[in-house]
Structure 1
């Protein structure tokens, strides 16, 4: 058994699970070869027949609080500096970008601060500059320029009886072809405020509709009382009807509210 201590979240996460996933995907991620693939292949071969226990330790801990693990980690850092000229100094930055893209995608393409908090809550340390770079380069975010808080679409009327999060209008919009393979975005607008949630998907299907609602609406805002959509097959079918009934959600067609639906599409 090998006990490994590292101050790199990239290395820790790779050995905790990413390494196996990369190997299964032929050392590719989203159709592109992962960075330093040859190095990771070598590591995978070396640990294949080993039981590896990985633990992350903080770097740069004051001597007064440093444990034996921290002291050993510092010694390794000092030894590594001897051959620093032979090391690609950009690897660390590439690794952080890799993790930042994962955090940004998995958290639902949130803004810089929200992505930072999402990653921090899961034990991943990212810098604001790295997150900002990832968001700036994100093709999905570029296609959804209205992803910040929008002005309320509806004032009064039939929405007055609902509290925040109880009523939503949803629709799919088409994305330009992206490298990530996401061609559609499920847009979910909170009816009383106009707050927009988004969920990029490769296909507009009932299953993706349910996944988007669960991740972006139910988990963040609670179970709504009412959802409105058009009559597309990705919204109105047995799978959706069963799911809505199980959650006590009233699902309504927008055929009777064309003006509201058109306003929803106009802001997207």
Structure 2
């Protein structure tokens, strides 16, 4: 016989609905009126016409039914197609970011997962060449003046491009008063 499945998360609720319908208690549970009574009446009317089985859906384990395996297989088969569609939208959209790919697809009626858009963006050779190159972090700790009119403040700029042999620029500021200001710029090679 073909069964329609009623899937519930809390098992006692599902088991309770399978045993005693709330109709026998005047559509009340624990002395309170049931929320969505009209909807429950429609469900009961449908359940009386069709064989119905209650199944518990556990959020912490995967379903082991043949239907769940079929759905998982279909999802795996379409995952590659989603990446191919995202790649097409990425190329046509001018090599923009993952969210721009997803938005361009949504404008044309295609829903793409953000993971597929990020995969395409990360694997694009043109985007990897055009992406900004990350600079190395600071090598040493830089102590800076906290407020105005302090004794000194040191800042550095660098490393400069390769053709200058890794030259660093140091800027030292002396006392800052109204009539007496000075600063030094040093260039040092590493």
Shorter-chain TM-score above 0.5: no
Q: Which has the larger radius of gyration?
A: 2
TM-score in terms of structure 1 length = 0.23
